[in-house]
Structures are given as structure tokens and as C-alpha cells.
Homo-oligomer: A and B are copies of this chain.
Amino acid sequence: MTPASEPRWLTEAEQDAWYAWRRMFPLVNAEIARDLGQDSGLSEADYDVLSVLGSTDGHRMRISALAELMQWSRSRLSHQLTRMEQRGVVRREDVATDGRGAEVVLTAAGVAAITDAAPLHVESVRRHLIDILTPQQLQALAEVGEVLRHHLKAPRKGRP
């Protein structure tokens, strides 16, 4: 087989972007996750599930649909729902039209949890991210996210 050619190492500017990328996300998210735990006793995973369910009508959703919407594996969601079910914030229900399927439903406690948590969480996100950046910087983030998401769906070329 042919020997690998010398790789294109990162330039100074590229390294800056790469290190920023690697560092900023875990740091900021850790702050937000810490707030969420202290303020509301929820993990980020808890919050994400609750907030999606909270914005559906009937506060319910087919499990596989929820997994796809959140871009989670079914396995991960199943484990997460088991934990949340034990804590009483969601409930599983069989669905009549498909014997294999199941739905998740928010319990009253679940509705209360997300209703209480949401305002505090928004403030936390503002404090640690949104209010720190300029509108231009926020727009740049959204733009980068758009480009990357688009590229994931349709990669320009496969592995060399």
C-alpha cells in the first residue's frame, strides 16, 4: 500500500478556532448544567426531554419520534425514560394502533417541573452565553451551525 503523504497540519488561525471549539463548549455547558441542577434538580437530559414533551399537545409523543427529534439513540432514550419514570415525571403508555409502539406522557409532576425550570434556565443561558455575545457573534454562531448541519446531511466527499 502507498505511504501516507504528509498531512496538512493546522495553521495558526485554524488552531485558534479548533482550540476555541474544543474548550468553549464544555466549559459553558458545565456552567449551565450546574445551574440547572442547583435551581431545578434536573440534568440537561431531563430538561431536554421535558421541554420537548411540554411543547407538544397532549404532552405526549411516540417514543421513536421523540428519539428522532432529539437525535438520540432509542437505547439512550429508553434508559433516560426509565429513570424519569421512576422519579414520576413521565409515564409510558401502550399505543392502540401499533402493538409494538409506546408513548411517553408528562405527568402532572412533569408539567410542574418544566414549568418551574424554564424561566430559570433561560436566565442561566442568557447569563452564560447569550448576553455575553454581540448580535453579530450570535449570528455567526447560528450561521456556523447551519453550515455544519447542512454538511452532515450531505458530505461533499467520502474518506480519501
Contact = CB atoms under 8 A, between A and B. Distances in A.
How many of chain A's residues touch chain B, expressed as a range?
35 or more
A125 interface: yes
Contacts of A147: 132-133, 137
A148 interface: yes
B27 A130 contact: no
B27 A25 contact: no
B148 A28 contact: yes
A79 interface: no
Interface of A: 4, 6-10, 13-14, 16-21, 23-25, 27-28, 31, 71, 118-120, 122-123, 125-127, 129-130, 132-133, 135, 137-149, 151-152, 159-160
